Amino acid sequence: MPVTTDASRASRTSVGTHAVEVIGVGKSFGPVRALDHVDLHLDDGEFLAVLGPSGCGKTTLLRCLAGFERIDEGRLAVHGRAVALPGIHLPPHRRQVAVVPQEGALFPHLSVADNVGFGLPRRSPRAQRSRRVDECLELVGLAGLGQRMPHELSGGQQQRVALARALAPRPPLVLLDEPFSALDASLRVELRRDVRDALHADGATAILVTHDQGEALSMADQVAVMREGRVHQVAAPEEVYAAPVDAWVASFVGEADLFPVPDASADGLVDTPLGRVEVTGGVDDATHVLVRPEQVVLGADGIPAQVRTVDFHGHDALVTLALDDGTLVHSRSGAHPPVVGARVGLRVQGACRAVPGGRPGPAPAPTPAR
């Protein structure tokens, strides 16, 4: 998927060639700039996650795509058809963009089967309708529950029905608005996998909006990281994690320790508080070296440090260490972490990434293991 932050180039090169196009879209609520020149492209069958902290504009983007909000500038196209330009607004029901809302929003007065069949063409034959309804229910693992009423389902089942309802009319685009946030952690992992599989099995093009980096990284083909109305980076999950475009993305997506360096523009060996490390992927304005916790290996020798805290997750543990000069470093250790207060040695394994600093965002809280 070509990614560009240059709006003019995007509109010149890509009109009509993608399933979904978001080109230079801007949207303000009074003085608040909710979307600031947002550019995104999706190919057919692709699954994009829009990841960002709350208030970053990701839900506004979704509501603009669905047609619930008007855009101020730019252009939205679905399947080669412009659905929104400044002053032109295709109403939601004519966009063929199906939404899976946060709470599911099943129609409480309709049975599960009627909910799923809601968006199917009214005049299609009954047998054809019920075949597609059954197919979609099976896709989300709820075969045979068509006659239930929504309130007879658990929260996870309701979300599955909401997904089936969105998939049933085979829309060119499915939008998922934090569909797992109201669910138990244990349920979430299973449902994520099933939802991703159902979307792939149906060949649907989908955008997931979430503030949960684990959700975005584990489910999507592509991840767009948003902050304050801007898209910072769009890339495959591995790339966003391994090669973040700036310090903010680095610290928002996963645990990160960032060490300022005088000159990281060239690849090679750089001195950091963790010793001399190998730096790759340096760009001109790089100011920080990114070290991921799994790169910090604890042992008897190396840079001396003291264990401050241990967040034990079962399969691994996140260890916070203090160097002698007070610098804090994180390390992901195995199932047998050192005890608090122990003195250990540490060293950095593998090459590190140099990133531009930008304005560092508030460090996200460590995501608990799920």
**Shortest spacing between CB 118 and another protein, in angstroms:** 6
Sign of CA dihedral 145, 146, 151, 155: positive
Min dist. Cβ of residue 331 to another protein (A): 40
CA distance 271 to 277: 6
Q: Which is nearer to another protein, 10 or 100 (CB)?
A: 100
Nearer to another protein, 101 or 366 (CB): 101
Closest CB to another protein among 75 and 95? 95
Q: Which residues is 234 bridged to in the sheet?
A: 224
Report yes or no: 288 and 357 within 8 Å, Cβ to Cβ.
yes
| Residue 199 CB, nearest approach to another protein (Å) | 16
- In terms of CB distance, is 110 or 323 closer to another protein? 110
Nearer to another protein, 173 or 277 (CB): 173
Q: How far apart are CA 123 and CA 141, in angstroms?
A: 27
If one counts every other C-beta atom within 10 angstroms of the C-beta of residue 24, the result is 18
Smallest distance from another protein to CB 97, Å: 6
**Nearest distance, CB of residue 150 and another protein, angstroms:** 9
Between 52 and 117, whose beta carbon lies closer to another protein?
Answer: 117
Where on the chain is the footprint of another protein (CB under 8 A)? 66-68, 91-99, 101-103, 105, 107-109, 118-119, 149, 151, 162, 165-166, 169, 171, 175
CB of 300 to another protein, least distance (A): 49
